Structure 1
Amino acid sequence: MSTVLNEHERVIEAPAGVVGALLDRLSAEEDPIFPTPAWEPMIFDRPLGVGATGGHGPVRYSVTEYEPGRRVRFAFTPPDNGFHELTVEPMGEERCRVRHVLETELRGRDRLLWPAVVRPLHDTIIEEVFDNIERAATDGCARPVRWSPRVRLCNRLMWSRPETVGTPESAHLIRTAVDHPGYEDAYRMELLPGQPRDPEAWSGILRDAFPVLAREGDELLLEVDTAGLTARASILVDGRHVTLSTAARADTLRGRVYWGVVRRVHPFMARTMLRRTHRRLALAAPHAGERETGRRRSAVSAPSHLVSG
């Protein structure tokens, strides 16, 4: 076995109380510092506190120590071992140091995975956490972390994949778009914090090549007719998921021959286009720290409804 001690720290030009308040919102619904949606969010089975269990992506851990506004330690879930923790240390009234420490013992294949894959990803995510703290606390980030080619490749390969589902009950447009369809399918992906909730933003799934026929609430209906085939596609954003549904009917001999070939590759292409768009919109979304700054500015600029007597 070999022991890994990985440390990161950054000085933030903001009071420790301000930064500590951001730390306390880790895993919250509007987490201001964990780098989503570029990476899977930190999720626990309860609010941040001792005993909360969860993690981010495939990395699982639980909260073992928590000092609000100052420190939180996470213990990795077996068979992993060790811990990682975030601390905030005052450096005067208007400055503080944020520090992250990871300590673990590598076993078996982890000895190869740590330097090749895990460490580059871990280092990038932690530096992005610091970037978001700096953005949220100071309204800017002087030197944001840049992804290496290896990190970009790993992010692409590890991106979550669509799951096959039935056509959603709430997808009313696609359910009535094609009479007696000979083929139906649907694939969905979970929406990440920061991704758009407007189905218009997801129309690029089909490369904007097909006309929009209708919109009803959170569903967009597109016409994808071709070669004697009546076909419709639906993009539904229901608050938790984005779902791509298809309904098709072959109307002519040419259409039946065409669809007999295309339907073999259609599921793969539909899933690929949904996954590609999901990742593209995630990487284009504002950072968590920028979203926090935007919320704060919106709250400040919102007109008061109070009137004097």
Structure 2
Amino acid sequence: MVVNVHERLVPASASRVGAFLDRVGGPDDLWWPAPAWPAMVLEAPLAAGVLGGHGPIRYRVTEHVPGRSVVFTFDERVGLRGTHRFDVVPRDERSCVVRHVIEARTTGAMRLVWPLAMRWLHDALVEDLMDRVETEAGHPPARPARWSWWVRQVRRATRPRATAVPVPSTALLAQALPQVDASDAFAVPLPKGATRDPLVWADAVFHQPPVWVASLMAARQAVVRLVGIDRAGSEVFDPVARTDDEVLLGIDQSHLGFRASVLCEPERVVVSTVVNLHNRRGRLYWAVVRRLHPAVVRTMLRRAAARVPRETATAR
């Protein structure tokens, strides 16, 4: 039997905090700690009987007391037989306790997954949520929650996989370069509730790289001048064209021209790269870079999939 309890004393009235509780799982949810975690998405406004979930965890709303509590009953196919709930409990006129409780039995593979991984992920998610509750109430926590080493490793291992796919045939890519000497494409599943704005995805992919990718780019800047290749700053990933579902980025230099396309399809996001090699320096440069390029793009795309915001911007 799993009984997991988290609670936080919030220096704000229960009526103020409870108003935010009633928006959980909706497009204007201010509590759920997305995009750091898979968004909670309900299929309709919060009410008994509404289906929803976050990531692979599915459930149904089975009780809702506006401003005070909401109870979700797990879909037993996820390996949990029971409920999780939020409660806002008044302490006095200026404070309340926010509580989250899981009461459930594990079944099937979840008997192993819960103690090894899911419990630790759940604890980290809920503590991040409690930080958001305090922040939205106007009192940011003095010591924000931090993920443990184990949570960071599990999160890294469970990010969506970026797989190689055929380069899409789109109008922007078709006219991106006068000649294409090399091309590839990688895709990740579109996370539930994630934005479909290609500009947001492009920023998440190319302007928020992991440390090791940023280090490679810095090393590239230091080395290229020695072999007569142009350096490139942040403008290398500036948009050059866009449509509603695709944005094209890139630059033309003396040794090569390249374009990167970020395409948001209904169920996946595709990052494509096309390259036009101008001369021998470009061919030598690409002969080296193409060895690292797939790993770099896969990593940046997986990282972006875990960080992009929800489709509808939150509103206060």
- The TM-score bracket by the shorter chain reads 0.7 to 0.9
Amino acid at match of 2:240: R
Give yes or no for the alignment of 1:215 onto 2:240: yes
Which residue is 1:271 aligned to?
A: 298
* Separation in structure 2 between the aligned mates of residue 126 and residue 49 of structure 1, nearest angstrom: 22
Alpha-carbon distance, 1:18 to partner: 0.8
Give yes or no for the alignment of 1:233 onto 2:259: yes
Alpha-carbon distance, 1:140 to partner: 1.4
Q: 1:200·1:220 contact (CA, 8 Å) conserved in 2?
A: no
Gaps of 5+ in 2: 221-231
Q: TM-score, normalised by structure 2?
A: 0.72
Which residue is 1:118 aligned to?
A: 118
* Separation in structure 1 between the aligned mates of residue 83 and residue 181 of structure 2, nearest angstrom: 54
Identity of aligned residues (%): 35
User: Which has the larger displacement, 178-187 or 131-140?
Assistant: 178-187
Alpha-carbon distance, 1:41 to partner: 0.3
Q: TM-score, normalised by structure 1?
A: 0.74
- Pick closer, same or farther for the CA change 1:212–1:267 going to 2, 3 Å: closer
Which residue is 1:306 aligned to?
A: none
Amino acid at match of 1:245: S
* Separation in structure 2 between the aligned mates of residue 274 and residue 168 of structure 1, nearest angstrom: 20
Which residue is 1:42 aligned to?
A: 40
Q: 1:235·1:242 contact (CA, 8 Å) conserved in 2?
A: no
Q: Specify the SS of the correspondent of 1:87.
A: strand
* Separation in structure 1 between the aligned mates of residue 239 and residue 102 of structure 2, nearest angstrom: 51
Which residue is 2:223 aligned to?
A: none
Which residue is 1:89 aligned to?
A: 89
User: Which has the larger displacement, 51-60 or 262-271?
Assistant: 262-271
Alpha-carbon distance, 1:161 to partner: 2.7
Q: 1:165·1:188 contact (CA, 8 Å) conserved in 2?
A: no
Q: 2:160·2:305 contact (CA, 8 Å) conserved in 1?
A: no
- Pick closer, same or farther for the CA change 1:45–1:158 going to 2, 3 Å: same
Give yes or no for the alignment of 1:18 onto 2:10: no
* Separation in structure 1 between the aligned mates of residue 43 and residue 96 of structure 2, nearest angstrom: 30
After superposition, residues 48-59 of structure 1 pair within 5 angstroms as 48-59=46-57
Which residue is 1:99 aligned to?
A: 99
Amino acid at match of 1:4: V
Amino acid at match of 2:42: F
Count the aligned residue pairs.
Answer: 279
Alignment deviations for residues 231-270 of structure 1 (CA, whole Å, 9 cap, x no partner): 5232437698764211235678998899799768754542
Alpha-carbon distance, 1:76 to partner: 0.8
Which residue is 1:303 aligned to?
A: none
- Pick closer, same or farther for the CA change 1:243–1:87 going to 2, 3 Å: same
Q: 2:4·2:102 contact (CA, 8 Å) conserved in 1?
A: yes
After superposition, residues 37-186 of structure 1 pair within 5 angstroms as 37-79=35-77, 80=79, 81-162=81-162, 164=165, 166-167=167-168, 169=170, 172=172, 174-181=173-180, 183-186=182-185
Amino acid at match of 1:167: P
- Pick closer, same or farther for the CA change 1:221–1:110 going to 2, 3 Å: closer
Gaps of 5+ in 1: 286-290, 297-309
User: Which has the larger displacement, 89-98 or 240-249?
Assistant: 240-249
Which residue is 1:187 aligned to?
A: 186
Q: Specify the SS of the correspondent of 2:168.
A: coil
Q: 2:185·2:271 contact (CA, 8 Å) conserved in 1?
A: yes
Q: 1:197·1:237 contact (CA, 8 Å) conserved in 2?
A: no
Q: Specify the SS of the correspondent of 1:219.
A: strand
* Separation in structure 1 between the aligned mates of residue 239 and residue 137 of structure 2, nearest angstrom: 43
- Pick closer, same or farther for the CA change 1:64–1:271 going to 2, 3 Å: same
- Pick closer, same or farther for the CA change 1:12–1:168 going to 2, 3 Å: farther
- Pick closer, same or farther for the CA change 1:108–1:262 going to 2, 3 Å: same
Which residue is 2:2 aligned to?
A: 4
- Pick closer, same or farther for the CA change 1:273–1:168 going to 2, 3 Å: farther
* Separation in structure 1 between the aligned mates of residue 262 and residue 94 of structure 2, nearest angstrom: 46
